[in-house]
Amino acid sequence: MRGEQGNTKGLVAALAGLALVAALVAAVWGVYTRLPQDGRAVVGARAHESAATLLRIRLRRDEINFPVSDEKVSVQLYPINMAAARNEFDSEHRPGQRFEDFANRLMGERKPLEAELDARGEAALAVPPGRWWLHATLNGDRELTWRLRVDVSGREKAVELTPDNAYTRAKKF
């Protein structure tokens, strides 16, 4: 009787060991199949989330209710809120440190991006996913300035620059 119990326990232990090895192989295979195909490291994100988003920026000059300049409009995208960074920089005395150095340290690896609106008032650029701040200024009889937070994700995103979402509207004298 004892031999039979020993054989049963051995068989159960062997089956449990096989199940454990199979589970380990399945787990490793599941991780392997989700790795990026091009060898990039993706930390904390799926491969499709790490790809750049096509950000389309539009300014409809005909919707502005005053004459505007025909000059090209430059658009900057910053990975940090530059106004908040400036306030933080100015809040303490920082001898020997320039604001540009302070802002670069806050931005880390992410660098500002620039685009220029074409004659139709449109621009498209590839932007890494994350939170960005868009800055643009339109000159004319009056000046419109935009400071918009843009949460970038997905394959494509569009941002409209309108008088309603402008940060400031100033009359020129």
Question: What's the token pair of residue 4?
Answer: 């039979």
Domain limits of the chain?
50-171
Mean pLDDT over residues 69-86, rounded? 87
Q: Looking at residues 21-33, what average pLDDT do you find?
A: 87
Instruction: State the pTM of this model.
Output: 0.64
First to last CA, the chain: 106
Rounded CA-CA distance 50/55 in Å is 15
Q: Which residue has better confidence, 139 or 65? A: 139
Amino acid at 159: V
The answer regarding whether domain 50-171 maps to CATH 1.10.10.10 reads no
Q: Which residues contact 5 (CB under 8 A, 6 or more apart)?
A: none
User: For residue 74, which amino acid is it?
Assistant: S
Mean residue pLDDT across the chain:
83
Structure-model confidence comparison of residues 62 and 11, the more confident one: 11
Residue type, 47: A
In single-letter form, the type of residue at position 71 comes to E
Please choose, from the candidates 173, 2, 3, 150, the residue with its C-alpha nearest in 3D space to the C-alpha of residue 78. 150
How far is it, in rounded angstroms, from Cα 111 to Cα 34?
28
Give the pLDDT band of residue 79 (cuts 50, 70, 90): very high
Residue 158: pLDDT above 50? Answer: yes
Tell me, what's the pLDDT at 172? 63
Residue 29 in tokens: 């295979």
Instruction: Taking each helix axis as running N to C, give the angle between helix 99-107 and helix 82-91, from 0 to 180 degrees, rounded to the nearest 10.
Output: 120
Coil/strand/helix, residue 129: coil
Q: Are 54 and 156 in contact (CB under 8 A)?
A: yes
